[in-house]
Amino acid sequence: MTGVILSPMSLVLDPATEARIQQEFATGRYAAPADLLNQALDLLEAERMDLAARRAAIVARLEESYAQSERGEGYSPEESRALLAQHRAERAAHPLTRPL
């Protein structure tokens, strides 16, 4: 649907969504429905960009890990299991410091 302009646009909202919008307007933060919609779309775009950046970082880390493995660097299976057990024990000892 790229390049298609849908104007004017009207939306049919279910009662629960309409109630949520009314609650937001009651706060006084938005002067018009378009303001609220723009804010929501900005948040969606930011989340999409954040997810893309996270994905790129994970891919880069995986590629580096694979390259290290190809060069013969890294841990043996036994060392890997020992390190994993150590990390699990550390997380269990400090549950509030777990990364999200």
What's the pLDDT tens digit per position in 41-81? 999 999 999 999 999 999 999 999 999 988 888 888 899 99
Please indicate, yes or no, if residue 7 is contained in any of the structural domains.
no
State percent of the chain over pLDDT 70: 90
> Residue 17 falls within a domain, yes or no?
no
13 part of a folded domain: no
pLDDT over 90 percentage in the chain: 56
Report how far residue 46's alpha carbon sits from residue 52's, in angstroms, rounded to the nearest whole number: 10
Q: Within a domain: residue 27?
A: yes
Q: Which residues contact 91 (CB under 8 A, 6 or more apart)?
A: 97, 98
pLDDT exceeds cutoff 90 at 14: yes
- Residue 73 counted as domain residue: yes
User: Residue 76's domain spans which residues?
Assistant: 23-97
* Total of domains in the chain: 1
Would you say residue 4 lies in a domain?
no
How far is the C-alpha of 53 from the C-alpha of 48, rounded, in Å?
9
pTM: 0.57
Q: How far is CA 39 from CA 16, 45, 85, 90, in A?
A: 19, 10, 44, 41
